[in-house]
Amino acid sequence: PGDSVTLRDPYVPGPAERAPLYYWDACAGTVSQTNPHTREATWVAPSEPGVYDVTVNFRNASSTTPSRVLRLCVAKQGETACTLSPPPAPEMRSFAATPEKITCGARCETTLASAVDAAGSEAPLSYRWQVRRGIISGGGPTVKFEMPLVGCCPETYTAALTVCDARHAAATGITDV
């Protein structure tokens, strides 16, 4: 409890690929990342023993399954394993922007909506939205995403979502606009 752990995503980009952007989050404890292009983050475990989910989403050109949930055990002092069984996790059924492609004028805004199957999960669900550029307004499964105005060239903006239940189990996803 309270220890920090370095987490590393197993994906290694090829020599010709640009470094992906990583979006780390945790249902409990804290996650910090010094550089969004590195695949490492530090998780500080909560003080209570249990099973906790940490999520990582990343975006690059060749990735087809960019979302991962890492299930981590925080054991009681003096023990080497968790005595609690992991809770069932919520499942991300869909996560998308509507509209997905927009032409920006005075305002660049879209709606981000998710659908989560929470069967077996413990309510309430919390929705943790992340963007590198832009503003998320609202909360819950559907929010507004306002992107910065673009100049002459098309831009792609990425949004990541982690949904946590009351037992710290997670579902996660990522989408582009």
Q: What pLDDT was estimated at residue 1? A: 64
The whole-number mean pLDDT for each consecutive block of 10 residues of the chain, a chain of 177 residues, reads: 86 79 92 87 93 87 71 87 78 87 73 87 88 91 87 77 92 88
Residue 130 corresponds to which amino acid?
Q
40 touches 31 (CB < 8 A): no
How far apart are the C-alpha atoms of 104 and 23, rounded to whole Å?
A: 25
pTM, entire model = 0.85
Q: What pLDDT was estimated at residue 98? A: 87
